[in-house]
Copies of this chain bind each other. A is one copy, B any other.
């Protein structure tokens, strides 16, 4: 796929081949992301981050990716975002910022904002999360983490656990994993199940996700356990929340039944979904996963800017 000058709005914009192309380049970028190798392929390029809501991990990893490749960053963030946009349309803000930069990274609380921005901008737009919509670079770094660790994605058994209803991350990931041929197991409390349309999408790709209620049973032969936060606000009854949060918490006893080479992922920040004692086990891959945001974003910037 020729990425030059293209927008990245949804993971569905990318074919299987295009995804693997990103992963391949991301692997090449890893030593540069670690600061072990120098590369200035983005020298002279300016990336603008346009964050209408804070997302520190995403912003910092885009900035680190740009800077490690010799490029420059313009930050347009909160609270300016709120004040400038009093009365200014998103289309006008985007056309201002694109005048000062070569590529835009947009984070916005409303679904569809990134697609709208891309329509008005002549410069490429990368969606860094738009409300309940898409966050394709998160999906790519999740895929890269699995692929980098397991060498393949096809046939890999992935458990998605936690709030599968409101967790935007797991929707795109479920689709992409199905596209790449992974086997999915879904583990969620009854009120936080994966939405029907996502399950249908997975099925259309020829995959039948297993639905399991007991985490212990689910992780038994899993290769990857992907944990998401269960937010208190989702439960009208605090007692109900405590019960659910407790039974979906990942700790050492639970892991005893799992495989030796099980890897645990989490988009972070976590609250109490994973016990701190798990951090010291070889299962814990969530900090590496956060780091992987850098080489993956380097790969995208490099491909899109044709550098």
Chain A residues with a Cβ under 8 A of chain B: 35, 38, 43-46, 48, 54, 56-57, 60-61, 63-64, 67-68, 72, 74, 76, 78-80, 83-84, 87-89, 91-93, 95-97, 99-102, 268-271, 276, 287, 290-291, 293-294
Contacts and interface: CB of A to CB of B under 8 A. Distances in A.
A124 to B, nearest CB: 12
B92 A270 contact: yes
Given A80-B56, A100-B61, A287-B99, A268 B74 contact: no
Contact of A96 (B54, B57, B68, B80): B57
Nearest to A39: B44
B76 A79 contact: no
A291 B99 contact: yes
Contacts of A45: 35
B63 A74 contact: yes
17 contacts: A35-B44, A35-B102, A46-B64, A54-B84, A56-B76, A56-B80, A60-B96, A60-B97, A87-B271, A88-B268, A88-B269, A88-B271, A91-B276, A92-B268, A92-B269, A99-B287, A99-B294
Contacts of A97: 60
A270 B100 contact: no
A184 B67 CA distance: 46
Contacts of A99: 61, 287, 290-291, 293-294
Contacts of A93: 269
Contacts of A44: 35, 38, 68
Q: Which 4 pairs show the lowest CB-CB distances between chains A and B?
A: A99-B291, A64-B100, A88-B269, A67-B72
A78 B76 contact: no
Given A38-B43, A294-B99, A294-B100, A60 B76 contact: yes
Contacts of A96: 56-57, 60, 268-269, 287, 290
Nearest to A87: B271
Given A48-B60, A78-B80, A84-B269, 12 more contacts: A56-B80, A57-B96, A60-B97, A61-B100, A63-B100, A87-B269, A88-B270, A88-B271, A95-B287, A96-B268, A99-B287, A99-B291
A276 B89 CA distance: 10
Nearest to A100: B64
